[in-house]
């Protein structure tokens, strides 16, 4: 595939294929020499219009382990404001000879605009665009789920029948959107729970169950609970009355965590607000996948870069 812009556009076979390549990449990471020659001579630019150290270093590690040359470009602002426009920045990178652009942007759809623009010939990997999608995060989440549930027998499998409860600020979450499409495509049952103010208007046709009662969601005994990071500044925008009230209603506190079956996985894309949306008791438990998600992120992003840049079929 030429670009990875969203999970909405992935069919099940392609998605499973990406997870299988990620499996291969993860296997190489168990070796003493982790570096593969696959992308030698290719240049990957991490173009970040929005700060995100975690995502950037994950992509950077992934590209370096594939022997690509990596350039990190922290651009400021967006066009029309005094910052650099997407077009000018992209054309600069094209002149430098970028083969791949990993784009993080605060404006939803910026990777799609860049991919369609004709400004660059590079492959585009969406590393998070506004409140739209964050496809590699969803892929690493699916990868993590498949590994935990099926172990080495996961290869070639989807997530048929797996139930996942996603909790928090759905409205502003690109992680939630990417997970909704990918998990549904892979056959999982997704339930979204959050305060009514943080559930998007117009999701009646999404392939999910929607609710506002976290305890009811927990009582269903899902296979995984994915807690989303909640920006505390949403409080000043009156999405909820106070941090305490949010935590009481939608935080995975100790009592709720203990009410979950022992098999339920606890996921979080990080960085966590401990004691707010998630209690340390949950985050640090054996059921937690938080650190695996980070490790799996590198393997999944290696797969994404390999498939888009080396022209492989997933």
Q: Return phi, psi of residue 184, to 5°.
A: -65, -40
Contact 12, 181 (CB under 8 A): no
What minimum distance in Å lies between the beta carbon of 286 and other proteins? 34
**What is the nearest approach in angstroms of other proteins to the Cβ of residue 310?**
27
Q: Which residue has the tokens 């506004």?
A: 130
Stretch that binds other proteins, among 63-71, 73-81, 239-247, 282-290 (CB under 8 A): 73-81
Output the DSSP codes for 15-75: HHHHHHHHHHHHHHTTSSS----TTTT-EEEEEESS--HHHHHHHHHHHHHTT-EEEEEE-
Residue 132 makes contact with other proteins by CB under 8 A? yes
Rounded CA gap, 50 and 47, in Å? 9
- Residue 121 C-beta: closest distance to other proteins, Å: 17
Residues 6 or more apart from 179 whose CB is under 8 A from it? 7, 137, 138, 141, 142, 164, 166, 190, 226
Nearer Cβ to other proteins (9/24): 9
Structure tokens at 50: 């929005």
Give the one residue of 33, 205, 242, 286 binding other proteins; rule: CB under 8 A.
205
Q: Which two tokens stand for residue 128?
A: 């998070």
Helices (H) and strands (E) in the chain, counts: 11, 9
Comparing CB distances to other proteins, the nearer of 103 and 279 is 103
Among 20, 60, 99, 133, which residue sits at the site for other proteins (rule: CB under 8 A)? 133
Does 210 sit near other proteins (CB under 8 A)?
no
Measured from the CB of residue 95, what is the shortest distance to other proteins in angstroms? 18
Per-residue contact string for residues 163-202; x = within reach of other proteins by CB under 8 A: -----------x--x----------------------xxx
Q: In the set 107, 209, 212, 285, which binds other proteins (CB under 8 A)? A: 107
Query: What is the contact surface with other proteins in residues (CB under 8 A)?
Result: 8, 78-81, 85-87, 105-110, 112-113, 116-117, 129-133, 174, 177, 200-206
């Amino acid at each position: 595939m030429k670009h990875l812009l969203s999970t909405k556009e992935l069919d099940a076979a392609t998605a499973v294929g990406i997870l299988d390549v990620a499996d291969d990449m993860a296997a190489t990471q168990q070796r003493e020499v982790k570096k593969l020659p696959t992308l030698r001579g290719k240049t990957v630019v991490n173009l970040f219009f929005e700060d995100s150290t975690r995502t950037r270093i994950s992509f950077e590690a992934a590209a370096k382990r594939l022997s690509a040359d990596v350039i990190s470009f922290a651009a400021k602002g967006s066009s029309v404001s005094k910052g650099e426009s997407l077009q000018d920045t992209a054309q600069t990178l094209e002149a430098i000879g970028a083969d791949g652009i990993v784009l993080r942007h605060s404006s939803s759809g910026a990777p799609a605009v860049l991919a369609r623009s004709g400004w660059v010939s590079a492959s585009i990997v969406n590393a998070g665009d506004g409140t739209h999608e964050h496809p590699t995060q969803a892929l690493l989440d699916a990868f993590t789920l498949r590994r935990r549930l099926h172990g080495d027998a996961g290869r070639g499998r989807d997530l048929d029948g797996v139930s996942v409860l996603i909790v928090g600020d759905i409205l502003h979450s690109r992680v939630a959107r990417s997970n909704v499409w990918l998990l549904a495509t892979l056959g999982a049952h997704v339930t979204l729970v959050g305060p009514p103010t943080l559930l998007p208007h117009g999701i009646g046709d999404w392939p999910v169950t929607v609710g506002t009662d976290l305890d009811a969601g927990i009582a269903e005994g899902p296979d995984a609970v994915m807690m989303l990071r909640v920006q505390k500044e949403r409080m000043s925008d009156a999405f909820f009355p106070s941090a305490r009230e949010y935590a009481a209603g939608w935080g995975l506190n100790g009592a709720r965590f203990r009410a979950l079956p022992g098999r339920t996985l606890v996921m979080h894309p990080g960085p966590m607000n401990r004691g707010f949306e998630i209690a340390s008791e949950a985050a640090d438990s054996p059921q937690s996948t938080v650190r695996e998600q980070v490790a799996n992120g590198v393997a999944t992003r290696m797969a994404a870069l390999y498939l888009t840049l080396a022209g492989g079929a997933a």
